[in-house]
Amino acid sequence: MDKRKDYPDHPVILKAKELADAIKQSDAFKEKNMEKLQSLIIECNQIITETTKINYGAVCQPRSGCCG
Amino acid sequence: MDKEMEKIIKRKMEKLIVNQKSPKIKTKEFAKAIVDSNEYSSFMKYNKELKDSQTAQDLLRQFQQKQMELQRNGFDPDTLEELKDLQMKINQNDTIQDFIKSQQELVGLLREANNLVNRRIGMQFAFFQGGGCCG
């Protein structure tokens, strides 16, 4: 049985869309400056981890084995 | 309105729009949405219950010890039997099961959100710097 859930209207998903659009609007993204983009992404990850107290990078690693 | 004033207002409006779209502001909003979600509240509740439950902690510790024993000493039917027994007790322990379920739900939501960001920006958004998963 597929345990995967869909969350199309979930506030977290809606905010994720806005976040992705904001990254796409950033200078780093438009300039294709990978160094600037990477440091922006690291900073975003740090903000999420600090606010939620959850290691966002570890949880969302494709094969972290975290939490099943 | 004179032209100079018009220019100033236009610049201020542009700055405001840029700020509204700032990735850092949107990241804070995203993080706040996670903290405000039911999935997060449930996880925090059951995480605390798990930490506060001596029975659950003892079961998990015993299970880990048995696993290590089996790895260290190789296959042993008695240890394997004890491990199965502990696994059964873990499966029947509500505190542990509630924790696992809430963790899976929160992780599912976070991964779904992260996959969406990945697809939209065309690269990995989650940045792994080491450490454990939760808490």
Q: CA gyration radius for chain A?
A: 14
Q: pTM here?
A: 0.81
Q: Within a domain: residue A6? A: no
Q: What's the domain range around A48?
A: 11-59
Interchain pair B112, A5: CB under 8 A: yes
A24: in domain: yes
Residue A17 lies in a domain: yes
**What are the residue boundaries of the structural domains of chain B, listed by start?**
38-111
Which one of B26, B110, B131 has the shortest CB-CB distance to A19?
B26
Domain membership of residue A54 (yes or no) is: yes
For chain B (length 135 residues), average pLDDT per consecutive 10?
83 65 93 98 98 98 94 89 96 98 96 96 88 57
Asked if the ipTM is above 0.95, the reply is no
> Could you give the number of structural domains in chain A?
1
Structure confidence at residue A68 (pLDDT): 38
Q: How far is B105 from chain A (nearest CA, A)?
A: 9
Q: Decide if A36 is inside a domain.
A: yes
Q: Given this model, what pLDDT does residue B132 score?
A: 62
User: Which residues of chain A make contact with B104, given a CB cutoff of 8 A?
Assistant: 3, 67-68
- Asked if residue A2 is part of any domain, the answer here is no
Q: Measure the CA–CA gap between B127 and B111, rounded to whole angstroms.
A: 13
